[in-house]
């Protein structure tokens, strides 16, 4: 006999819901069996915290006197380029945007000390951020220049809107080349000098609901220390990747697009990131509650690090050239020991996502639900699931119509 989200919410309102984290459910299922665990536990909370480049925030800064039309102009926030291709005073700041005068990788490897992720962190921390705009004048928006300081609390709307977060599993990155390389997976030393992975494993939201039975569009989540919603499936969502017999994807698969009120978030869970030689980004804290509707849902939440494997990928050659080759597979249980064996060599492992902070998020969300401050929501539409035929496709390059360089010539 199953439970419904409405029934679980009733228990949450009554303070009677049994809420555990995705770590705790593992022992509960092992001790009591899945049938009893499914009856006794109502909600399992998950968590993850790591760099998620496809993140950003849109802001409405309000109208100046006289009015200015930022749309179509150029705008910077603390020198970082913002996107202004909207209406008069709507802006978007992306996590990987950089300051105009950042040397990028001209001096390699670039430091990328300050970017859009840092601007978002500063706004959330309550710091003043400098907005400088230059645009064209119109009859209704005559002003052409604006330089002012903004604060989060003065903005009309400030909304975190991330096109792709919470990747369901990810690569374990190594470097087979003979030079150090600087990647979004961190610095990879030559000749298998280290291995980098980036997933909360058994605590990771989509790895606890691998077939997207409970997480869907509209799901209420912990986002950046506040609350948010699953707005859509994330970009590059790929439910058709190979899976284990238990349904766990054996590589990057599902993703979530998330949205939430930036004003209610915290700079503990939205942190600017500098990846040497790669760029700026934003680490995002996410926690998704999973309603234990039935035994199947419960069994999935009891996934362990031993059940989840990551493909080992050479970022020296295979990744940049999109060859799709993998060197092997490794479980998160092995990765967390600190060393793995690749091609007969012992290789030190390190995580780019923070497991302690993922635990903190799962615990916080558990507390919110136990206190009746956070209710679950029934998705309004499922995410594309395995078998739906939805896949992540590469770009098919076709030369532009008048591109003589790529199209070739007879002369």
Partner 1 sequence: MYSHRIVLHFPENVVEDPLICRLARRYDVQFSVLRAEIEENRGGMMVLGLTGDNGVVRDALEFLEGHGVEIEPLQQDIRIDADTCTHCGACVGQCPTGALFVEERDRTVALDSEKCIACQQCVPACPYQAIQVSFH
Distance CA 365, CA 357 (A): 12
| Phi, psi (degrees; rounded to nearest 5) at 37 | -60, -40
Strands (DSSP E) contained in 210-327 are 216-217, 220-223, 226-233, 256-261, 270-275, 279-287, 289-291, 309-314
* N-term to C-term CA, the chain: 75
CB contact at 8 A, 110 and 103: yes
For 127, phi and psi rounded to 5 degrees?
-75, 155
Of 58, 56, 42, the closest CA to residue 10 belongs to 42
Among 47, 94, 186, 291, which residue sits at the site for partner 1 (rule: CB under 8 A)?
A: 186
Q: Are 196 and 350 spatial neighbours (Cβ–Cβ below 8 Å)?
A: yes
Whole-number Cα distances in Å, 353 to 124, 201, 273, 284: 21, 10, 12, 10
Question: Does residue 217 sit in helix, strand or coil?
Answer: strand
For partner 1, which stretch binds (CB under 8 A), given 44-52, 80-88, 229-237, 378-386? 44-52
In the complex, what is the shortest distance from the CB of residue 20 to partner 1, in angstroms, rounded to a whole number?
18
Q: Is 351 in the site for partner 1 (CB under 8 A)?
A: yes
Decide if 317 contacts 176 (C-beta within 8 A).
yes
Minimum distance from residue 193 beta carbon to partner 1 (Å): 9
Q: Tell whether residue 55 is a contact of partner 1 (CB under 8 A).
A: no
Near partner 1 by CB under 8 A: residue from 354, 366, 369, 370: 354
CB of 272 to partner 1, least distance (A): 8
Pick from 47, 51, 116, 260: which binds partner 1 (CB under 8 A)? 51
- Judged by CB under 8 A, the chain residues 100 through 119 that form the site for partner 1 are 109, 111, 113
Tell me which of 275, 286, 365, 369 binds partner 1, using CB under 8 A.
275
Residue 198 annotated in active site: no
Catalytic residue (one of 53, 140, 172, 198): 140
Residue 58 in the binding site for partner 1 (CB under 8 A): no
187 binds partner 1 (CB under 8 A): yes
**Does 54 interact with partner 1 (rule: CB under 8 A)?**
no
Among 15, 242, 344, 356, binds partner 1 (CB under 8 A): 356
Residue 32 interacts with partner 1 (CB under 8 A): yes or no: no
Rule CB under 8 A: say whether 199 interacts with partner 1: no
| Cα angle: 276, vertex 180, 327; to 5 degrees | 110
Q: Of the listed pieces 92-100, 224-232, 241-249, 351-359, which binds partner 1 according to CB under 8 A?
A: 351-359
Give yes or no for residue 273 binding partner 1 (CB under 8 A): yes
Q: Which stretch binds partner 1 (CB under 8 A): 5-13, 64-72, 270-278, 309-317?
A: 270-278
For the chain, counts of helices (H) and of strands (E)? 8, 26
271 binds partner 1 (CB under 8 A): yes
- In the list 43, 160, 195, 215, the residue contacting partner 1 (rule: CB under 8 A) is 195
Please, what is the minimum distance in Å from the beta carbon of residue 188 to partner 1? Answer: 9
Task: Give 65's contacts (C-beta < 8 A, 6+ positions apart).
Answer: none
Q: Which of 242, 338, 387, 389 binds partner 1 (CB under 8 A)?
A: 338
Stretch that binds partner 1, among 7-15, 58-66, 155-163, 271-279 (CB under 8 A): 271-279
Beta bridge partners of 145: 134
Q: Counting contacts by CB under 8 A, is residue 171 touching partner 1?
A: no
274 in contact with partner 1 (CB under 8 A): yes
Q: Which residues of 67-94 are buried (b: 16+ CB within 10 A; e: fewer)?
A: ebbbbebebbbbbbbbbbeeebbbbbbb
Which residues in 136-225 belong to E strands, given as ranges?
A: 145-150, 157-165, 172-174, 181-183, 186-188, 195-197, 216-217, 220-223
Answer yes or no whether residue 27 interacts with partner 1 by CB under 8 A: no
How many residues in the shown chain lie near partner 1 by CB under 8 A? 33
| Residue 81: closest CA among 68, 69, 95 | 95
Residue closer to partner 1 (CB basis): 48 or 214: 48
Q: Considering beta carbons, is residue 146 or 359 the nearer one to partner 1?
A: 359
DSSP sequence for 228-258: EEEEEEPTT--TTS-B-TTS-BSSS---EEE
Based on the shown chain and the rule CB under 8 A, indicate whether residue 60 belongs to the binding site for partner 1.
Answer: no
What whole-number distance in Å separates Cα of residue 355 and Cα of residue 1? 34
Q: Is 78 among the residues that bind partner 1 (CB under 8 A)?
A: no
Q: Could you say which DSSP state residue 68 is in?
A: B
Name the residues annotated as catalytic. 140
Q: Rule CB under 8 A: which residues touch partner 1?
A: 49-51, 109, 111, 113, 186-187, 189, 194-196, 271-276, 281, 283, 336, 338, 348-357, 359
């Amino acid at each position: 006999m199953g439970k419904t989200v409405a029934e679980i919410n009733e228990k949450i309102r009554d303070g009677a819901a049994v809420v555990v984290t995705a770590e705790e459910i593992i022992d509960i299922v092992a001790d009591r069996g899945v049938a009893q665990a499914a009856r006794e536990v109502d909600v399992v909370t998950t968590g993850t915290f790591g760099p998620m480049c496809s993140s950003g925030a849109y802001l409405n800064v309000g109208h100046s006197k006289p009015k200015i039309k930022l749309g179509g102009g150029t705008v910077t926030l603390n020198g970082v380029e913002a996107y202004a291709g909207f209406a008069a005073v709507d802006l978007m700041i992306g996590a990987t945007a950089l300051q105009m005068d950042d040397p990028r990788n001209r001096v390699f490897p670039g430091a990328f000390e300050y970017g859009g992720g840092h601007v978002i962190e500063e706004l959330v921390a309550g710091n003043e951020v400098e907005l400088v705009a230059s645009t064209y004048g119109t009859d209704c928006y005559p002003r052409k220049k604006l330089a002012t300081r903004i604060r989060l609390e003065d903005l009309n709307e400030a909304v975190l809107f991330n096109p792709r977060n919470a990747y369901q599993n990810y690569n374990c990155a190594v470097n087979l080349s003979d030079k150090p390389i600087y990647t979004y997976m961190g610095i990879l030393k030559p000749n298998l000098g280290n291995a980098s992975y980036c997933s909360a494993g058994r605590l990771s939201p989509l790895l606890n609901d691998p077939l997207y039975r409970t997480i869907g569009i509209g799901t209420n989540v912990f986002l950046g220390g506040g609350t948010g919603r699953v707005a859509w499936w994330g970009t590059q969502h790929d439910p058709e990747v190979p899976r284990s017999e238990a349904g766990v994807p054996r590589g990057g698969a599902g993703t979530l697009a998330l949205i939430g009120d930036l004003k209610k978030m915290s700079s503990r869970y939205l942190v600017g990131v500098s990846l040497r030689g790669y760029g700026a980004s934003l680490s995002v804290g996410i926690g998704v509650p999973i309603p234990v509707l039935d035994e199947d849902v419960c069994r999935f939440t009891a996934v362990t690090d031993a059940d989840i494997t990551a493909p080992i990928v050479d970022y020296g050659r295979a990744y940049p050239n999109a060859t799709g080759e993998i060197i092997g597979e490794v479980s998160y249980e092995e990765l967390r020991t600190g060393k793995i064996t690749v091609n007969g060599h012992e290789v030190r492992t390190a995580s780019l996502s923070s497991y302690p902070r993922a635990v903190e998020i799962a615990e916080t969300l558990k507390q919110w639900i136990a206190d009746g401050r956070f209710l679950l929501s029934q998705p309004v539409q499922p995410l594309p699931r395995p078998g739906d035929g939805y896949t992540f496709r590469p770009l098919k390059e076709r030369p532009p119509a008048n591109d003589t360089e790529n199209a070739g010539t007879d002369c």
